[in-house]
Amino acid sequence: MKLERWRRDNEYMLTIQEHIPLAPKTTFGIGKTARYFVEVKTETEIEEALGWAKERGIRPIVLSGGSNVLLPDEELDALVIMIMNNDFSFADSELEADAGCSLLHLIKTASERNLGGWEKLAGIPGTLGGAVRGNAGAFGPEIKDFVVRVRALDIELGDVREFDNDACDFSYRHSFFKDHPEWIITRVWVKLGRSDPAASKQLIEETIRERERRHIQNVRAAGSFFVNPVAPKEVQEIFEKEKGLKSREGRVPAGWLIEKVGLKGARVGDAVASEQHPNYIKNDGKASAAEVKELAQKIKNAVRGKFGIELQEEAVVL
């Protein structure tokens, strides 16, 4: 393992490492190594890392909390930039936080300050920046319901810009930043409501327990692997009749579709569609990215064949 200290203006700014294992840095526990790797804590350090990569003609890849991503079985010939910034502050009912902050930690800390409204997002794995990028949601609320504005950096042009909520182009599991990966989220402003700390804490705990009941906590997975798709009317009606629930925006759960095609618990090597929540493809040992992709394709083919629905990955597959 070789270390390179990058020097600019007679100051050592970054420590670039070579051939760093990536699997331990992801919730999936899958992936080989990064040709180059660096941890950054500030927007300036992100810019310096991008400058290092640009000077050498090396592709930059940004990771934050390591959730919602499937890395390849081969070495990434790139500079992997791991965002480790975790500074945050409160002003009245507004939270200003770095993109690298743990979402769960922010929810719990806000609760202690009599601020809430987003407790049902508790337990979603990863960082605030990742949640904004994918417009993460659970049990009704989505992060878009709380975001005031977002600061982001264009890795291609070096521009820095602030986006208000409308400019983020939020929709179901989607944002402007998902469509434009050249923009890296660096900071987020969130508006919360007043809450009772005891009631807020109880709701956080109940939400996490419900997630654990569904077996979507503490497993090696990327999170939900597929987006819940918009389904034909007849499929919506089958779901509503069977589950006694109303379809939201014409969507049905991807996990329900996987179960209906008989692939709950399906396995390819050590990649498994969880018995408790089949839209979680989990690493049940030493799963490879190839095994996960083979299982995902098997699921997509089966759902397309039975329902005519094309599942789309929510996880980022590199």
pLDDT of residue 270: 97
Domains 3-83 and 217-317 share a fold: no
User: Exposed, middle or buried by CB within 10 Å (0-12, 13-18, 19+), for 242?
Assistant: exposed
pLDDT of residue 219: 81
Give 108-160 pLDDT, tens digit per residue. Answer: 999 999 999 999 999 888 899 999 999 999 899 999 999 999 999 998 888 99
pLDDT of residue 106: 97
User: Exposed, middle or buried by CB within 10 Å (0-12, 13-18, 19+), for 299?
Assistant: buried
CATH code: domain 3-83 is 3.30.43.10
* Mean pLDDT over each residue of the chain, to the nearest integer: 92
pTM: 0.86
**Known catalytic membership, residue 314:** yes
Q: What is the mean pLDDT of residues 40-51?
A: 90
**Known catalytic membership, residue 59:** no
As a whole number of angstroms, the distance between CA 31 and CA 35 comes to 12
pLDDT of residue 2: 56
Indicate the pLDDT class of residue 12, thresholds 50, 70 and 90: low
CB atoms within 10 A of CB 174: 17
Asked if 118 and 145 touch (Cβ cutoff 8 Å), the reply is: yes
Of 74, 46, 77, give the one whose Cα is nearest residue 62.
46
What percent of the chain clears pLDDT 90, i.e. is strictly above it? Answer: 79
pLDDT of residue 8: 58
Which is the catalytic residue, given 133, 151, 173, 187? 173
Indicate the pLDDT class of residue 211, thresholds 50, 70 and 90: confident
Handedness of CA 123, 126, 128, 130 (dihedral sign): negative
The ranges assigned to domains in the chain are 3-83, 88-205, 217-317
CATH top-level class for 88-205? Answer: alpha beta
Which is the catalytic residue, given 200, 224, 274, 288? 224
**Known catalytic membership, residue 173:** yes
Of 76, 82, 4, give the one whose Cα is nearest residue 41.
82
Q: What is the mean pLDDT of residues 299-308?
A: 98
Give 183-198 pLDDT, tens digit per residue. Answer: 999 999 999 999 999 9
Q: What is the mean pLDDT of residues 18-23?
A: 96
Write phi, then psi, for 46 (nearest 5 degrees).
Answer: -60, -45
Give 217-264 pLDDT, tens digit per residue. Answer: 678 998 889 999 999 999 999 999 999 988 888 999 999 999 999 999
pLDDT of residue 6: 60
**CA end-to-end span of the chain:** 24
Please enumerate in sequence order all residues whose Cβ is within 8 A of that of 242, keeping only pairs 6 or more positions apart, or say none: none
CATH top-level class for 217-317? Answer: alpha beta
Q: What is the mean pLDDT of residues 282-305?
A: 97
Indicate the pLDDT class of residue 97, thresholds 50, 70 and 90: very high
